[in-house]
Amino acid sequence: MPAGGAIVGQTFLSAGLGNFPVARPRFRRGTGTTREGGPAVFGTGKCRQPAGWKARTTHAFTLIELLVVISIIGILSALLLPTLSRAKEKGRSISCLSNIRQLEMALQMYAGDHEDHAPPRSFPTLWTSRLYPYFGDMTLLHCPSDDHDSRRSYIINGWNDYFERMLSADEFEEFKRFQWPQGMKLSAVPLPTETITFGEKQTGSPHAYMDFVQGVKGNDLEELEHARHSARPNRRAGSSNFAFTDGSARSLGFGKSITPVNLWAITDKWRNAPPVPLENIP
Ligand SMILES: [Zn+2]
């Protein structure tokens, strides 16, 4: 480097990886003044530096330094992204729980206006239509973690075991054809704090009622979503949200709504059926 002269476009061979501009004093060819106000001539190689004057230089990163910075950013991202993802999913689960709690409030209000009865298990008029005047916002029917574009993520208890016990065989056949006019009387539920009214159904499932008597194994095994809010891909660590007959709502871990006690049932026969092994739950 020429002492005291202008340096224009000088390069350093850095770490054997290429030429990188690293130092470029802010001199311009021409005339000017020194910081002390004296005349200075630049670009001639005869510029006089006043005492105490220092050339202003900028320092660019070498490639090695850039690679280190990029690596650190990558490591920090890898550490933070799963945490952010879990926080995001937690937020969605809280929003879902709020939805299902508001549906439960609508059910309680509906029952208050219908001599304590839940909506009848009817089709094609579903519980959503009957409760709509009480919850009033269709977006409440969709869980934020449900990827499907269907408008309804939730399923209501069909109370099959209760009506199977209470109705005659012919009446129960009528019930199974969605033609029984009476809904479940909520005050007839013996354990309201431990009996589910609403849960989450599998993505895309068309079912509206959680029926033990439908399908091959029953809707509790075939249609319920047991890990909507999961630490993917480990479904066993996931959970889903549920509302209960006493008006409360809470999250239950994978399979906990149907085993070891089936919280959708009312009768001992169905509540305390042999526990379903977790590996049998989808
Ligand atoms: Zn949900």
Kindly state whether residue 66 falls inside one of the protein's structural domains.
no
Centroid of ligand 1 to alpha carbon of 227 (angstroms): 9
Residues 6+ away with beta carbon under 8 Å from 171: 180
> 11, 37, 60: which is the final residue of a domain?
60
Residues of the domain holding 37: 1-60
Helices (H), 59-176: 63-113, 127-135, 160-166, 169-176
If asked whether residues 260 and 167 sit together in one domain, one would say yes
Q: Which pLDDT does position 10 carry in this prediction?
A: 44
Q: Which pLDDT does position 230 carry in this prediction?
A: 80
How many residues make up the chain in this entry? 282
If asked whether residues 124 and 221 sit together in one domain, one would say yes
Centroid of ligand 1 to alpha carbon of 99 (angstroms): 8
Kindly state whether residue 244 falls inside one of the protein's structural domains.
yes
Centroid of ligand 1 to alpha carbon of 209 (angstroms): 17
Centroid of ligand 1 to alpha carbon of 89 (angstroms): 10
Q: Which pLDDT does position 6 carry in this prediction?
A: 43
Kindly state whether residue 72 falls inside one of the protein's structural domains.
no
pLDDT tens over the chain, length 282 residues: 444 444 444 444 444 444 444 444 454 444 444 454 445 444 444 555 555 555 566 677 788 889 999 999 999 988 888 778 788 888 999 999 999 999 999 999 999 999 999 999 999 999 999 999 999 999 999 999 998 777 899 999 999 999 999 999 999 999 999 999 999 999 999 999 999 999 999 998 999 999 999 888 899 889 999 999 986 678 888 999 999 999 999 999 999 999 999 999 999 999 998 878 888 888
Centroid of ligand 1 to alpha carbon of 94 (angstroms): 8
- CA distances (Å), 281 to each of 70, 210, 222, 268, in order? 44, 15, 8, 21
Q: Which pLDDT does position 53 carry in this prediction?
A: 56
pTM for the whole structure = 0.73
Q: Report how many domains make up the chain.
A: 2
If asked whether residues 187 and 256 sit together in one domain, one would say yes
Q: Which pLDDT does position 277 carry in this prediction?
A: 80
Rg (CA), the chain: 35
Kindly state whether residue 152 falls inside one of the protein's structural domains.
yes
Centroid of ligand 1 to alpha carbon of 262 (angstroms): 20
Kindly state whether residue 182 falls inside one of the protein's structural domains.
yes
If asked whether residues 30 and 122 sit together in one domain, one would say no
If asked whether residues 111 and 48 sit together in one domain, one would say no
Residues whose beta carbons lie less than 5 angstroms from ion ligand 1:
96, 143, 228
Kindly state whether residue 88 falls inside one of the protein's structural domains.
no
Kindly state whether residue 220 falls inside one of the protein's structural domains.
yes
Structure token pair of residue 69:
């910075």
Kindly state whether residue 204 falls inside one of the protein's structural domains.
yes
> 11, 44, 60: which is the final residue of a domain?
60
